[in-house]
Amino acid sequence: MKKGLYLIVLFTIMFLGLQQVNASGRFDIHYREVSGEVSRYPTYSQITGYLSNMGYTAQGYNFVSAGTAYQNMKSASGFVIHMHGDAGRQAMANNTYLVGTNGNGFASKAISDMLYNDLWGMKIAIYYGCSTGDTTSIYGDIAQETVNKGALAAVAWKVTTYINEVNEWNRLFFEKAQSDTIVESYRHADYWLRNNIGNVAGDRMQNNRTERGNIYVKIV
Amino acid sequence: MKKRNKVILTILFLTFTITFFSSCFVVNANNISSRGFVRGANTDRVIETKDLSIKKTKKIILMDNFITMNYDRQIITNSKVNTIYKDDELNEYVFQENVLTGFIKNIDYPELSNEEVNQASFKSKIASYKIKIPNYRTLADVTAQSLLPVGTDLNDYTLISENFVESYQEYSYNYVKMIGNYRTNDSVTVNIDVNGQVTSFLTTDIGEFDSIEANTINDEMVENFVNNQMISLHGNNVEYTIESKEIGKYNSQNVINVYVYYVAEDGLFSSEVITMYL
């Protein structure tokens, strides 16, 4: 009896130990790779190694529709999206959109229509599309809606974003997030972006964020 | 029974050991490979590497403190080699051609629960900091001036933005040298925490554009160049707006970067940076 108990305890300890070092979930990274535009692929390719170090698998999606992204994000630990956007809505393929509120269930998928716990497994959602951080009376606040459905944190930008700046800021963010909190990763990305790309880029990405949720946590 | 238990225990122990250590090796391998690689074509301006021939330690005096630091890495951007050192507290120092151009203090923010972050007192504390942006301007001015080379006057720079960064609770002051209506990448940025301590600074391209005369830049020529580029990239019917223009460096040459947003084929906004050599 004692030995049986010993085995169970040992097995539990081993299981917990393995959980710490092996993959603990999936990050969905959406980008749009089209001819005539600067590549957004580095938003995905530059962070796969960092995510692997953190114990995550990285799933890249090149220009899929809102329905696919919406469904998959419910089982993701993280969500990064770098495509077109405008005030309060994130564009996806085939003229479909992710929005905060007032979706129509088809072309426009609203985060507010999810169940209250659909995003409980999500550590962070990052919306890089131009002006997706603006709140509008129709589409609401996409970052806040994401947190309302359970994500720990969400961030979007209130300005026109530029592809190379986003690619590099994103890389810097995840470089730091391997070991530090979200807020420390913001600070690291802001500082080194200004050094690596330039002062204008540093100002743009630092001073125009809509930050929601708890950023004083690690996403590892 | 006893023997079987021993066998099971041994198998479990071995499985655990192999899995644990193989995971560690994978993590280490990734760490090594993430150093010294060249990024894709669109971000080839940033290369991170480690030059083993660089002096391992360095000693400087900064803000009245004697600091010893160790070489950490190099960041090579489109026209500059940045050598990064770290001190024992993991504060980072940036040097270009042996001149200190940047510093960022290592700060470990406390991890907070959702309840703590959502407390009204936490939010009101941040709001109270925000209104104190002007309080630290003098300190920012003095710090910025001290970072400029002898003979360079901060009065030649424009304080283009002063903000309170709510997330990491720092005041950020950004001074930029203008040439006519053009912002340049000749800049000094100083960040100060809510206790009045300088937490980071960065200078970029100091004095690099001083030889450019404002009257040598022809706005019409720049706009025509942008128009031709936008048409060649996105067709004759492209609708675009010039958001801002900046004088910077590319491949060690002076350029004008024009930031443009345009209506893409899906009716939404996309962006483009048009770079023109001066």
How far is B177 from chain A, CA to nearest CA, in Å?
Answer: 11
Chain segment A144-158, per-residue pLDDT in tens: 999 999 999 999 999
Three-state SS for B224? helix
- What pLDDT sits at residue B44? 47
Q: How many residues does chain B have?
A: 278
Q: For residue A9, what pLDDT is reported?
A: 55
Q: Give the Cα separation of B235 and A54 in Å (integer).
A: 43
Nearest to B141 by CA among B93, B192, B81: B192
State which residue of chain B sits closest to A92, comparing Cα positions.
Answer: B266
pLDDT tens readout for residues B217-236: 999 999 999 999 999 988 99
Query: A206-215 as b/e, with b when 16 or more CB fall inside 10 Å?
Result: bbbbbbbbbb
Confidence at residue A111, expressed as pLDDT on a 0 to 100 scale: 98
How far apart are the C-alpha atoms of B144 and B212, rounded to whole Å?
23
Give the whole-angstrom CA distance, residue B249 versus residue B241: 23
CA distance A133 to A85: 10
Beta bridge mates, B261: B241, B271
Strand-pairing partners, residue A56, are A25
Partners of B103 in the β-ladder: B93, B201
Q: What is the pLDDT of residue B13?
A: 61
Q: Do A37 and B270 lie within an 8 Å CB cutoff?
A: yes
Give the single-character DSSP code of B153: -
The residues, ordered by sequence, that sit 6+ positions from A219 with a Cβ below 8 Å of its Cβ are: A54, A77, A78, A123, A124, A152, A153, A177, A182
pLDDT at site A20 = 44
**Residue A186 contacts residue B167 (beta carbons within 8 Å):** yes
ipTM of this predicted structure: 0.86
B77 close to A (CB below 8 A): yes
In this structure, are residues A31 and A43 in contact, taking their beta carbons and an 8 Å threshold?
A: yes
DSSP B39-99: PPGGGTT-EEE--TTS-SEEEEEETTEEEEEEEEEEEE-SS-EEEEEEETT--EEEEETTE
> How far from B254 is each of B113, B203, B205, B210, B278, CA to CA, in Å?
48, 17, 11, 11, 6
Q: Which residues of chain B form beta strands (DSSP E)?
A: 47-49, 57-62, 65-76, 81-87, 92-96, 99-104, 158-165, 170-179, 182-193, 198-204, 240-250, 253-263, 269-277
Tell me which residue of B169, B173, B32, B176 sits closest to B109, measured CA to CA: B169
| A63-88 pLDDT tens trace | 999 999 999 999 999 999 999 998 98
**Per-residue pLDDT at A186 exceeds 90:** yes
Percent of chain A, pLDDT > 70? 90
Backbone φ, ψ for residue B13 (5° rounding) = -60, -45
Q: Are A58 and A47 in contact (CB under 8 A)?
A: yes
Tell me how far apart the alpha carbons of residues B158 and B187 are, in angstroms, rounded to a whole number.
Answer: 9
**Cβ <8 Å between B160 and A50:** no
Q: Which of A18, A53, A194 sits opposite B202 (nearest CB)?
A: A194
Written out in words, the top-level CATH class of the domain with range A23-162 is alpha beta
Residue with more model confidence, A218 or A3: A218
Q: Domain-by-domain residue ranges, chain A?
A: 23-162
A103-108 contacts at long range (C-beta below 8 A, 24 or more positions apart): A106/A67, A107/A66, A108/A66
Residues of chain B with confidence (pLDDT) below 70: 1-5, 7-45
Which pLDDT score is estimated for B266? Answer: 80
- Nearest CB partner across the interface for B39, out of A42, A131, A206: A42
- On chain A, the residues whose CB falls within 8 A of the CB of B31 are 53
Buried b (16+ CB within 10 A) or exposed e, B42-63: ebebbbbeeeeeeeeebeeebe
- Using a CB–CB cutoff of 8 Å, tell me whether A74 touches chain B: no
- Residue with tokens 């005369």, as numbered in its chain: B213
Using a 10 angstrom Cβ sphere, with 0-12 exposed, 13-18 middle and 19 or more buried, the burial of residue B133 is middle
- Residue A187 to residue B33, Cβ atoms within 8 A: no
Does the pLDDT value for residue A52 go beyond 90? yes
